[in-house]
A = this chain, B = another copy of it.
């Protein structure tokens, strides 16, 4: 099953379960979604539940907030994360705050799906990641789906939970293959140890998890170490327990993210480790992130602007050698 099919399945099952679940966004209905995530659903659930909206992101999220107030469980799709900037007022001032400001009188069971990241040569206005902004907003749950199984379970959880959830997807993952473990009781707020290891903890999320896994064999060979790879899964709240347990064991932290380095999400994880795990750290933590530039169109420039399996391996090996790891 593909990642986008897993998302589709999660939508399908929750829509079948509860008439209050509705999906809205640009081209989500008749067209089937620009990444085909909602394909086939309009035939099953009709146009009142697969709502094709105009190109008006502020309203997409703002309407979803109102639908949730009115008793529905809207799942809003933003076609690409960059366009969500138009909806930031609704996301931050409304979606994240109404429950709190009303002392719980208003409840907002809603999800905003966010395809994001550097895809292939879409240039600066179509290549961004906003987890650093959204995970910093109190009142939002922020999940990041790196694989098929998590995508399925976490999206169902997000839709059925009575709180506002930002659900981040990576545009290059839609055709990723995987299996759903239907029997598993997956807690979407817990981090996932993708690979156990004992010398270096590599923390990541979303597409970078795959890139880290590609880099690991080379790193292990060159540095003669064993790496533990952790997928954060939930970017807010963060499962610090899993991170702490790993760092107690390895004493070394590498944080990998695709987004720009300055102010990137990884700064939160590294600063947490510096504050809370200082005495466990045997070496300076390493942050691997994108360059502090808008993403250029040219393919070579684009690839040079973000971490790749090669650059991840290279940076970790250099760092490891420098610090005698």
Interface residues of A (CB under 8 A from B): 58, 82-83, 85-86, 88-89, 92-93, 96-97, 100-101, 123-125, 128, 132-133, 135-139, 236, 238, 260, 262-268, 270-276, 278-279, 281, 283-287, 291-294, 296
Contacts and interface: CB of A to CB of B under 8 A. Distances in A.
A180 to B, nearest CB: 31
Contacts of A132: 132-133, 136, 263
A124 B101 contact: yes
A122 B273 CA distance: 34
A167 to B, nearest CB: 18
Given A93-B85, A96-B294, A265 B268 contact: no
A275 B284 contact: yes
Contacts of A293: 100, 138-139
A123 B103 CA distance: 13
A262 B272 CA distance: 9
Contact of A294 (B100, B128, B135, B287): B100
A133 B133 contact: yes
A284 B294 contact: no
A123, A133, A279 — most chain B CB neighbours (10 Å): A133
Given A92-B85, A96-B294, A271-B285, A136 B276 contact: no
Contacts of A85: 88-89, 92-93
A262 B136 contact: yes
A85 B87 CA distance: 8
Contacts of A278: 281, 283-285
A133, A136, A276, A283 — most chain B CB neighbours (10 Å): A136
Given A138-B292, A267-B271, A267-B272, 8 more contacts: A100-B294, A101-B125, A132-B132, A136-B263, A138-B260, A267-B268, A274-B281, A278-B285
16 contacts: A85-B88, A88-B88, A100-B294, A101-B125, A133-B133, A136-B263, A139-B294, A262-B268, A266-B271, A267-B271, A271-B271, A271-B287, A274-B274, A274-B284, A275-B286, A278-B283
